[in-house]
Each structure stands twice: as C-alpha cells, then as structure tokens.
C-alpha cells in the first residue's frame, strides 16, 4: 500500500474510533485538557489572540455583525441615547458599523486598543481605554457584546458585571447566552446573566429579550441573544 492510501485509511479509522462512545469521550477530554493547559486566563487569551494577528471573531463579521449593528443603532436612535460605554470593545470591527453620538470603548488588550485608535483616528466622538485605566467614566448605555460567555473565571465575570451596571445611567444591553454551563472549549463558559442581575442589581429590570436573527445551527449562527436592562430614572 502506498503512502497516500495508507494515510487516508488511517484517517478513516481515526474518525471511526472517535464515534465510539468510550473512545470519543476520552479523546474529547484529552483535547479539552490540552487546550486548558495552554489557555492561561481570559485576559491573556485575548491579549495573545490580538498580538498574534487574530481578530474579534466571526460574530463581528458578515450577517451577525450587521444584525447586531441594526439592533443597537435602532435602540440608540429610538431611545435618544447620548453616550455609550462598551466593556470589551475588541478590535473595532463591530464598532465600525455603529452610529453612536459619543462612545468610550474599554478592553484588556493593548493591541486591540491600538487597532481601534488607528481605525478611528479621525473620529473625535470615539475614545478608548484599557479597563485598568477606567477612572469612573459613565454613559447612558452600557454594552457588553459577545464578552460575558468568554469570562471563564468567577472573579473576572463578577468584576465585569459590576462595572457594566455600575457605570451605566439608564440602560445596559448584554449580547450573550443566559444560562449556566461549562463548555468543552476553555475560553467559553455560559453564564446566567438575568439571574445575576436579579440577585446582585435588583434595581435593574429585564425590559426586553430580543431573539437572534441568526440562531446557532450546525452551519453557523450564534447562541447569544440581546438582553436589554433598564432602571428607573433618578427619583423615579
């Protein structure tokens, strides 16, 4: 048997073995363990990703990016939002579609912020800071888009949620999954967002849950949905 047919045969055998319950389960656990060992932490994962030329992911491109932009731009326009603060702005791919009067983007990655500052250098309505440099800046609307389910450490998740809600004056929009579940990949952990808000920020209410125009399927889409929170105006 020549080398090429032998290689194809081995590949078929390997795929067949992975379909067997016990073998497949062991292989998935081993793969998960290897990925976890190289993962590090949420912040280091994203810092490395941008430094190595990676981007914010497929959710910031194509039809998903257009869907998110349409939804957010309509909300800002219809509610008269004057300012936006986003926790986890990434490389600015999604932001390029935004129509916000004033915007502050924060991220843990210096490289992501460099990309944003270069991309929007001629736009005085946009500014960017490291999360660690945040000095209490606030806005009408707080955003967390495709971020929460990437915060696998409990303390990082808690810190993100507190910042998100405590520096928004009127609304918070989270684009995320909304259930507690650990994932088989190390950089994803689903969180019960609405449950956290009920327990930790009871002054805020879930105003609306907007279904995804492109729900997750085997061919793509996303498991995330828009969760819109509001709190009564001061004195209300």
**DSSP labels for the chain?**
--HHHHHHHHHHHHHHHHHSHHHHHHHHHHHHHHHHHHH--HHHHHHHHHHTT--S-GGGSHHHHHHHHHHHHHHHHHHT---EEEE--TTSTTGGG---SSEEEEES-HHHHHHHHHHTTT-TTEEEEEGGG--S--EEEEEEES-GGG--SHHHHHHHHHHHHHTEEEEEEEEE--S-EE-SSTT-EE--HHHHHHHH-TT-EEEEEEPPSSB-BTTB-BS-EEEEEE-PPTT-
Q: Please state the domain extents for the chain.
A: 3-39, 58-230
Task: Please write the tens of the pLDDT for every residue from 3-62.
Answer: 555 556 665 655 565 456 655 455 445 544 444 455 567 766 656 766 666 655 555 556
Weakest mean pLDDT among 49-58, 69-78, 120-129? 49-58
- pLDDT value, residue 28: 45
What superfamily does domain 58-230 belong to in CATH? Vaccinia Virus protein VP39 (3.40.50.150)
């Amino acid at each position: 048997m020549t080398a090429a047919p032998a290689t194809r045969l081995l590949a078929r055998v390997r795929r067949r073995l992975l379909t067997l319950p016990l073998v497949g389960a062991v292989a998935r656990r081993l793969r998960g363990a290897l990925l976890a060992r190289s993962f590090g932490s949420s912040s280091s994962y994203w810092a490395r990703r941008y430094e190595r030329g990676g981007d914010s992911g497929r959710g910031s491109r194509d039809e998903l990016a257009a869907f998110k932009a349409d939804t957010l731009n309509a909300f800002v326009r219809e509610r008269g939002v004057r300012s936006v603060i986003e926790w986890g702005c990434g490389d600015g791919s999604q932001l390029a579609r935004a129509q916000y009067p004033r915007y502050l983007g924060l991220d843990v990655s210096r490289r992501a912020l460099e990309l944003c500052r270069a991309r929007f250098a001629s736009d005085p309505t946009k500014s960017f800071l490291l999360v660690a440099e945040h000095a209490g800046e606030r806005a009408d609307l707080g955003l967390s888009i495709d971020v929460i389910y990437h915060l696998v450490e409990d303390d990082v998740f808690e810190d993100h949620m507190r910042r998100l809600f405590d520096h928004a004056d009127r609304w918070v929009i989270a684009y995320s999954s909304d259930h507690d579940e650990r994932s088989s990949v190390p950089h994803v952990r689903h969180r019960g967002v609405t449950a956290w808000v009920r327990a930790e920020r009871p002054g805020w209410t879930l105003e609306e849950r907007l279904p995804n125009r492109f729900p997750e399927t085997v061919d793509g889409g996303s498991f995330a949905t828009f969760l819109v929170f509001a709190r009564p105006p001061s004195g209300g």
